[in-house]
Structures are given as structure tokens and as C-alpha cells.
Chain A
């Protein structure tokens, strides 16, 4: 491994490409099978069987759905604003995926004498013996999640249809109001961790045999962050932008074929991202008993936590009815926002005296 390109060893590039591929394929597969899992879980909760026909217990259903959507006719409304209409699904999909660049999904593993931290935007510096990652990781995630709203707003506006526009307007109002509380809930986490780097936030939760999670220190913040994130990605019970009973299908009413599939994928990719983020910030990331001793256990714990949170999302969807619009705004601005501010003040006071 003596070859160096631009002052970095060859292994650096191989490791980077490998990490990107693994994370990307993992998210894509999870997205595909999350749709299946959601239908199956909700089906069983409502005493139905869910998809059963395609493959054993419907296991091939996501692939069949993908093929079906791929071969459907693509319709662009004649009065639509073409450029924005075409680019909106991409803008919705990309922020959901690139957030994964900063989420650590494991500890440091050693391949052929080269230490690789299992986080895409990170490298191990042998000279100083520490991992360097994006030092504004949390801010990066907030920035990316604030971009997600563009896709939906554009889709709503560009379709030139009443339902789409209503859906787009609702979505943007909702996402802007809940982004605030989600951001403030994270603030209380980095008041404890005193860093914005996700790698260090995870490392600091490794106390008590890998169980020193922030959810025990900040239960309110964890709860609020999860609720606000659900609202921000428009999941039930906050899925007003695509409320079928009033808006047909909201912002994606006019979309068909692969573009519709892209919005669908963006929704589930957002769900994976939010669950991964909640696991990282509040549930100790890849930490767990013995995770530091056996490096390969890290990703296992991480994936288990993410899947558990995704199950909770689906559980909520099967259980709770949709909020009314004024209730949603009331909850966001008059309940969650003051609570998150209060949480910051209390954290500050306690942090000052301890």
C-alpha cells in the first residue's frame, strides 16, 4: 500500500468508495423492504395478512412494485412548469440520501493495517491517532433536512393543479414549523456533548458499558425530536400534505411512473435517515455492550436500533388517526416549541451547576 494519490494512501480511496457503496446499498434495500414491512406490519395489526401473492409470503412484492412503476406510462401535465416538474422528485430524493454521509454506523475497523472509521465523511489520522470527521455534522444534517422542503414545494407548484398546490403549501408550512422544534431539541444534545461532530457524540455515549445513551439524560428532547422529525418528513399522524380524503394525493397527485416512485422512495429514505439520526443522537449510535471490544458488533447494534425505530414509525401509523391542520400548527408552535426552549433552559441551568 505504498502508492499515494494527492498525499493520501491508496487504501483511503478504496475505503471511501467501499463505505459509500455499502451505505447506499443498505439504504436502498431498506427503503425497498420498508414498504413491504410497512404493509405487512399494518396488515397484521389490523388482522389482515398483507401482501401474500408475490413470492413466499409476498417477499418479492417490492420488486414487483418497482417493475410495475418502472413500466407505467409517464404523464407530464400540459400546463405544468416543465423544468421544475422534472427536477422536483430529484430534489426530494437527494437530501434524504446525502444525510447518511455523516452518520457513524460503526467503530474503527482495521483492514490490511489501515484503520477505517465506519462513517463516510471521516478518516483516521495516523499522525495524531484520532478520527477526523465533519466537525459540523449536526449542522450539516439540519441544513440538508431544510432542503427537503424544496422538492415538495416545487412538485406542488409545478403540477399546476389545485390539490398539488394545497399539498405543497401545507407541506412547506408544516416542515418549516417543525424543523424549528427539531433543531432546538438537538441543541440540548450538544449542550451535553459540547461538540457538533457526530462521531464524538456517539463516543460520549459509550459510558456504562455502551449504555450511557442521551435518551436517559434527555428523554424529553428525544421524544420531541422524534415527533418533530415525523412531522417534518410528513409521516402519519402528520401526513396532511398527502391526506387522501381531502387532497387526492397531495403534492404528488399529478406524478406518475418513476417520478412517483421517487417521491415514494424519498419518503421512506427520509424515514430511514430520521431513524438513523435518532439512534445516533439519543440511542448511542453503534454503542452497546461489547461493541468496543468486537468492532463488527457496532453496525449490528446500529442496524437493530434503526429497524426498531422504523417499526415504531409503522406502529404509530397503524395506531393513530391523522391530525387536523389547526391542531397540527397548535401542537408545533404552542406546545413543542415552548417545551424545547424550556428544555434548553433547564439543561443549561443543570449543566451550569454540575
Chain B
């Protein structure tokens, strides 16, 4: 049952990912990308990581993509005649082919590892995924967490200064 579900979600993910790059209309591409994000969120749920799934939908589908759609709307990019240059197509094919070979080799060599470490699926179910992440983030990984927040603060201040013409 789980495999069947996985196969279905994967199918949707692949089709929507292809639609992202083939759609003529940028808004439709953006919508397909949202669908892809949903499929990724489903994978997180299947991997016993509900917090990641919720954050995936909230941040990527809910915030970042809304901004992207907003930008597309404001710039008003209608269906424009994008000419496919042949040298670009050839270059893309070559890069894609080598990436494919790379992935196939990696997949052939690797083997599926069982989850190791203290955090088993049962423990996540008992204590809760969010609690575990929070505990780690505010104890062992406090310094990276604080550094990230300072970086974000700097980015916000920078954005305000850039946006404001007269200080």
C-alpha cells in the first residue's frame, strides 16, 4: 500500500516537475512548482517528519511561491515567443546526459541504509517531531541557529535600506 502510494506521488511529482519547464505560461509553471512542493511534503510525511512537511508547505508553497507569482503578475510576462537556440538545446542535452549517467552510477553503487542513531520512528511518534527538532536546535545547534538569525536580520535591514530612497 505504501509503495503504491509512493509510486502515485512520484508520478505526480515527475509530471508536475516536467510541466514546470514545459508550460508556456509562467503562472502555470509556478502552479506546477507548487504541486511539486506538495509532493515533496508528502514524502516528508512518509518519512515520519511531519514538521518538515508542514514547513515545506508553509514556507515554500505558501510564502516563497506567492512572492514569485506576485512578481510574475507585476512584471506581466505574457506568453512570449521564446526562441529555442539550437546550441543551447545541444548543451543542455549533453549536460543532462552526463548527469543521468552520474546518477545511475551512484544509484548502482549505493545500498539502502536503515535509519540509525537515537531517533527511531517510534520515538518520533512518542515525543513528537517538532519537540525533538526544537530540543536539538536550542541545545546542540544553538550557535548555528543564532548565526542564521543574525544573517536574516542583516538581510532584512539591507532590504529596507535598498528599498528606501531617502533615509
Which residues on A are within 8 Å of B, measured CB to CB?
6, 81, 83-84, 87, 132, 134-136, 139-140, 142-144, 146-147, 149-150, 153-154, 156-158, 165, 168-169, 172, 176, 195-197
Complex Cα distance A154/B68, Å? 12
**Contact A139–B54 (Cβ < 8 Å):** yes
From residue B123, how far is it (CB to closest CB) to chain A in Å? 13
User: In the complex, what residues of B have CB within 8 A of residue A135's CB?
Assistant: 50, 128-130
Pairwise interchain contact A139-B58, C-beta atoms closer than 8 A: yes
Q: Please measure, in the bound complex, the distance between the C-alpha atom of A87 and the C-alpha atom of B25, giving whole angstroms.
A: 15
Closest residue of A by beta carbon distance from B67: A176
B43 smallest CB distance to A (angstroms): 16
* B contact residues around A142 at 8 Å (CB): 54, 58, 62
By the criterion CB–CB under 8 Å, are B34 and A143 in contact? no
**Within residues 12 to 71 of chain B, which ones have a CB less than 8 A from any CB in chain A?**
25, 27-28, 31, 34, 50-51, 53-55, 57-58, 61-63, 66, 69-70
Q: Which residues of B contact A168 (CB under 8 A)?
A: 73
A176 & B66 in contact (Cβ 8 Å cutoff):
yes
B130 and A196 contacting across the interface, CB-CB below 8 Å: yes
Closest to A134 in B: B50
B27 close to A154 (CB less than 8 A): yes
19 A-B residue pairs with CB within 8 Å: A81-B25, A83-B25, A87-B31, A135-B129, A136-B53, A136-B129, A139-B54, A142-B58, A142-B62, A143-B62, A146-B58, A147-B57, A150-B66, A150-B69, A154-B31, A154-B69, A157-B69, A157-B73, A172-B70
Q: Which residues of B contact A176 (CB under 8 A)?
A: 63, 66
The secondary-structure label for the interface of chain A is helix
- Pair count A-B, CB < 8 A: 77
Q: B residues within 8 A CB of A149?
A: 62, 66
Q: How far is the CB of B11 from chain A (nearest CB, A)?
A: 20
B1 at the interface (CB under 8 A from A): yes
Q: How far is the CA of A221 from the CA of B53 in the complex (A)?
A: 26
CB pair B66 A172 closer than 8 Å: yes
Q: Give the residue name and chain of the A residue nearest to B73 (CB).
A: A157
Q: Is the CB of B66 within 8 A of A143?
A: no
**CA distance in complex: A160, B98 (Å):** 43
Assess whether A153 is in contact with B28, with CB atoms less than 8 Å apart.
no
Max chain B C-beta neighbours (<10 A), residue from A81, A83, A150, A197: A150
Beyond A84-B25, A140-B54, A150-B69, 4 extra complex contacts between A and B, CB < 8 Å: A139-B58, A143-B61, A147-B61, A158-B27
Q: How far is the CA of A146 from the CA of B128 in the complex (A)?
A: 24
Contacts of B57 in A (CB 8 A): 143-144, 146-147
B58–A153 touching, CB < 8 Å: no
CA distance A134 to B125 in the complex (A): 10
A32 to B13, CA, bound (A): 36
Assess whether A81 is in contact with B27, with CB atoms less than 8 Å apart: yes
CB distance from B153 to the nearest CB of A (A): 14
Given the complex, which residues of A lie within 8 Å of B50, measured CB to CB?
Answer: 134-136
What chain A residues lie within 8 Å of B58 (beta carbons)?
A: 139, 142-143, 146
Q: How far is the CA of A140 from the CA of B58 in the complex (A)?
A: 8
Residue of A nearest to B23 (CB): A83
Least CB distance, B54 to chain A, in whole angstroms: 4
- Whether A165 touches B1, Cβ cut-off 8 Å, given contacts A81-B25, A136-B130, A146-B58, is no
> Which of A81, A134, A144, A150 contacts B34 (CB under 8 A)?
A150
A6 and B1 contacting across the interface, CB-CB below 8 Å? yes
- Which of these, A136, A146, A196, contacts B62 with CB under 8 Å? A146
A135-B128, A135-B130, A146-B62 in contact; A153/B51 too (CB < 8 A)? no
Shortest Cβ distance from B79 into chain A, in angstroms?
9
Which of B70, B125, B130 is the one whose CB lies under 8 Å from A153? B70
Neighbour of A157 across the interface among B27, B51, B129, CB < 8 A: B27
